[in-house]
A and B are shown apart, each in its own frame.
Chain A
Amino acid sequence: MNVTRGFTGRPRVHNPGLPPGQYDAGDDWPVLSAEVTPDLAASDWTFRVDGLVERPQTWDWAAAHALPASSYEGDIHCVTSWSKFGVRFGGVSLDTFLAAVGPHASATHAVAYAHTGYTASLPLADLTGGRAWIAFEYDGRPLAAEHGGPARLLVPHLYFWKSAKWIAGLTLLDHDEPGFWEQNGYHARGNPWDEQRYSGD
C-alpha cells in the first residue's frame, strides 16, 4: 500500500452501495458528454431496434409512450469516479422493445447509437431482464437535453457512459463492436463493482 503522507480524506461513511474507487456526488449531476448538446425536439426523436432481430422496428415519441411505463429508482455510477444515489428515471423497459422485435438466438451484443452519432457497445445480457430502460423522465420531469433528453438509454448497473444520451437506436450483433469510449481505451463491459474502467481492467 502506497500511503500518501498527510492524506486523511473525507470522513469515512459506510456505504455498501458505493462501488470501489467511487465517491458520492451528492446533489451534483455532472455532465460529461464529449459532443455538442443536440437541439433535438421530442417530435423529431425516434428509436429503432434492428440488426439480428425478426422484425426491425422504429418508434416515434408517441409510439414509445404508448408502451407500458417502467421506472428505475436507485444509483448511477460514472467512470470518472462519482456516483449518484437515489435517482429516479421514468421510461420504458428495454425488454418491451426487444420483445417487439424478437432478437435472433445468435445476437450476443448490441451497439447503442445516439442521434449525435455517439456509440456505446454492450453485451445483450446487460440490456435484458429488467436492467435497462429508454428513459424520458428524471425525477418526474422531462429529461433535460444536457442529460440526454428527450430520451436516453439507461443501464444503471454499468458505468454511465454505456447509457447513451439522445438514444437513436440499438443494433443487435453476434460480436462485440467497440463504441466511442470503448475505442478510446475504456472497458468493453464497464461493471463498476469490478472497477472495469479501462481496457485491461
Chain B
Amino acid sequence: MTATTTARTAFVPPTRFAVPGRIDAGEAAVEWQTATLTEIRRETPRAATFRFAVPAWAGHLPGQHLMLRLTAADGYVAQRHYSIASAPDGSGHIELTLDHVEGGEVSGWFHTEARPGDQVQVRGPLSGFFAWPGDRPALLIGAGSGVVPLMSMVRHHRERRLSVPLRLLVSARGPRELIYADEYGTETTPVFTRTAPAGVPVGRMTAAHVAPLLAERPDGGWEAYVCGSNAFAEHASRLLVAAGQPVDRIRIERFG
C-alpha cells in the first residue's frame, strides 16, 4: 500500500479505531507447507511445546499466528489457528505451545499421538494486528496459554537485546500451571489465581497489578497486548482502560 498509487482518499470512519494494523500484512501466505515435528517439551501438566522444522518458513513477527491442518486417511481435515511461540530467528524452525483441550481433536492428537518425525501442514504467518515489530514500548498481559504470543515478544526482545521497555503480566492458576515458568526474567510479574508460593498473594489480576506498570510512562506510551479467554480479555482490558490506557492502544486476541 503506497500512498503514491492511491488516487482516492481512504475512507476514514467517524470514530477512531483501536488497533490499526501494526504492519502491512499484504498478501497472506497462501501456500500450505509441510512442518516436521522435531521436538516436544512439556511445559505444564496441560501444555506442551511442539517444535517444527519448516524449511521454507517466510519468517514472522512476534504475536502473529498460523493455521495448522491435520488430515485423516479418509481425507477428513481439521484446521485451527495457533499463535507462534518462538521468536523470529531465521532458523527454519517454529514453536507452538498447545493446551490439551478436552475433546479437542487437534490438540488431542498433539498431546497423545504426535512424535518427532510426524508431519503436519501449516500456512502463515497470518494477520498483522497483534504483531509487535519491537518498535514501541510493549505492555503484555496474558492468562493461561494466552501468554504464548506474548512470549514470542519477550523472546524477541531478549534475543535482539532491544532497549525499548517491555513488561509482562501473566496470570496462571498456580506455579505448576505457569507456562514458560523458567524463562521469565525481571520483565515479568506472575499473578496466581488459585495457589501460589509462600508469601505470594493468591487472587485475580487487579488494578494494583496494572497501576505500577502504567505509572512507568515510557516515551511514546505503552502499546498494550492482551491475550487469553474472552472473560480474561474483558477483565484485563477494563483494568487497562480504568487505569488510563487509551483504547486505541489496546490490542486484544481472544481464544476461539
Contact = CB atoms under 8 A, between A and B. Distances in A.
Interface of A: 1-10, 12, 21, 23, 28, 30-38, 78, 80-82, 111, 113-119, 146, 168-169, 171, 173, 175, 177, 180, 183-186, 197-201
B71 A1 contact: yes
B149 to A, nearest CB: 13
Q: Top 9 nearest A-B pairs by Cβ distance? A: A30-B256, A117-B17, A198-B28, A185-B25, A35-B18, A185-B28, A113-B13, A31-B230, A6-B113
B237 interface: yes
Contacts of B126: 185, 198
A143 to B, nearest CB: 15
B170 interface: no
Q: Main secondary structure on chain A at its contact with chain B?
A: loop
Nearest to B80: A81
A36 B250 contact: yes
Given A34-B252, A36-B241, A198-B30, 15 more contacts: A6-B118, A7-B71, A10-B78, A28-B256, A30-B256, A31-B233, A31-B254, A36-B247, A37-B237, A82-B256, A113-B14, A114-B17, A183-B21, A184-B129, A201-B30
Interface in B62-87: 67, 70-81
B54 interface: no
Nearest to B16: A117
Interface in B118-134: 118-121, 126-130
28 contacts: A2-B121, A3-B71, A4-B70, A4-B118, A5-B113, A7-B71, A7-B72, A9-B76, A9-B105, A31-B256, A33-B252, A34-B19, A35-B18, A35-B252, A36-B237, A37-B237, A38-B247, A78-B256, A113-B14, A115-B15, A118-B13, A169-B14, A180-B17, A183-B25, A185-B26, A185-B128, A198-B30, A199-B28
Given A186-B28, A200-B27, A30 B254 contact: yes
A60 to B, nearest CB: 15
A12 B78 CA distance: 11
B34 interface: yes
A32 B254 contact: yes
A78 B79 CA distance: 13
Given A6-B109, A199-B27, A35 B17 contact: yes
Nearest to A22: B79
Contacts of A80: 81, 256
Interface in B86-130: 105, 109, 113-114, 118-121, 126-130
Contact of B30 (A3, A8, A200): A200
B26 A33 contact: no
Given A9-B78, A175-B8, A184-B128, A117 B15 contact: yes
Contacts of B253: 34
Contact of B70 (A7, A38, A78): A7
A23 B105 CA distance: 11
A10 B1 CA distance: 42
In this complex, the member of A114, A117, A175, A186 whose beta carbon has the largest number of chain B beta carbons within 10 angstroms is: A117
B255 interface: yes
